[in-house]
Amino acid sequence: MSPNDALTMSRMPDLLGDYEPGTFFFSSPTRTLLARGVDREVPASGTTSLRGRVASALRDARDSGHPNPVVVGAIPFRDDRPARLLVPAAVCWTSPPAGLSAAPERIAGTFTGFGPISDPGDYVRGVEKALAKLTTGELQKIVLARTLDITMGAPVDVGRVLRNLVRRDPQAYGYAVDLPSGDGTARTLLGASPELLVSRSGRRITTNPLAGSAPRHPDPVVDRERARALLASDKDLREHALVIESIVEALRPYCSRLSVPAGPSPLSTASMWHLSTRITGVLDDPAVTSLELATVLHPTPAVCGTPAGAARRAIEEIESFDRGLYAGLVGWGDATGDGEWVVTIRCAEIADQTLRLFAGAGIVAGSVPETELAETTAKFQTMLRAVGLDQVR
């Protein structure tokens, strides 16, 4: 079912320009969503599953007179952490945002420093620990992330950062999610993810996993060579294959037809090249929702590793921070089951004058710690450029 059938479409000229803190924003290459107000929140915990709580909230909203309820928000990396999901009071849709047509908006305030937990040496040592686990056969792949805390000299203008993100990468999935705060400080999760976990339109589904990355280069000749080298990289192809095998195995029981390309293609963002495989399918049971598929797939080896249980335990052991919503899911789903859910990467949490950036890299046999560190540094560039910073250690 198309958004025109499932939701009331409001052809506003620029929903990106209408964004303000406290609203939910989500853009894809085909459409833009802006949600305002709260009809009801999905309980963060309960005796039923998350899917059940979402279905109940949508049903209650429709029974109370909401004509086309949708759920929007974010789901964390770990299933024992609270999700941030709600049924908004109003939803507006329009066409996708336009690309970069002007200079990036200047972000008020000057950069004043990095936070204390951004030591690159800690990440290198973590990768070395992961490689040791790979040699024992405990793991085939693990994704290790690091954070970078940045302090600005004035409160960060979230709307300007979001506009810079989306206009620089219009083919990515832009998002901004209002987060609860215990101390009254406004907090926002925002980013521009290149990775579609799953979308559903009627019985048709699409997933576009990414695994295997290389930084872009400003010289077009060097940039094209990096893309070719990525496609020929044994290490990156093995990493990518692990992700595809896991996703196909998870989706086959749900699909009467599943189309899987023979190999990956290069996909580019403003900062990175990725190995990409776009998988499409047809659901056997039309009652299966986009959220159900998303929670079945999450977390994929692209953000966790394989085997998943061992990778999760190793991540908790090695990483020195709680991922929270990073490497989780963000998106929307409607009462018919349609929706779009993307992997929460290329993102930051913003609170007043501070930003916490997240970036990760997939570790497999043959990974080089310093190379994986460089990959995370390159991935930080998406957010750094959006706030007007061009360098990071």
Print burial letters for 147-157: b (CB count within 10 Å at least 16), e (below 16): bbbbebeeebb
Q: Which of 133, 138, 141, 340 is catalytic?
A: 141
- Tell me which DSSP letter residue 25 carries: E
Residue 156: partners with Cβ closer than 8 Å, 6 or more residues away: 107, 109, 350, 352, 353, 354, 355, 387
Alpha carbon distance 257, 279 (integer Å): 11
The DSSP call for residue 346 is: S
From the candidates 195, 239, 292, 340, give the one annotated as an active-site residue.
Answer: 195
129 in catalytic set: no
CB 57 within 8 A of CB 42: yes
Q: List, as one string, the DSSP characters of 58-81.
A: HHHHHHTT-SS-EEEEEE-SSTTS
Q: Which residues have C-beta within 8 Å of that of residue 82, sequence separation ≥ 6?
A: 44, 45, 76
Question: Is there a catalytic annotation at residue 133?
Answer: no
Tell me the C-alpha to C-alpha distance, in Å, between residue 212 and each of 207, 323, 372, 374: 16, 21, 11, 13
Element (H, E) at 50: helix 50-63
**Planar angle of CA 207, 251, 60, nearest 5 degrees:** 80
The one-letter code for the residue type at 189 is L
Strands 196-201 and 265-268: unpaired
Closest CA to 330 of 180, 174, 98, 167: 174
- Residues labelled as active-site residues: 141, 195
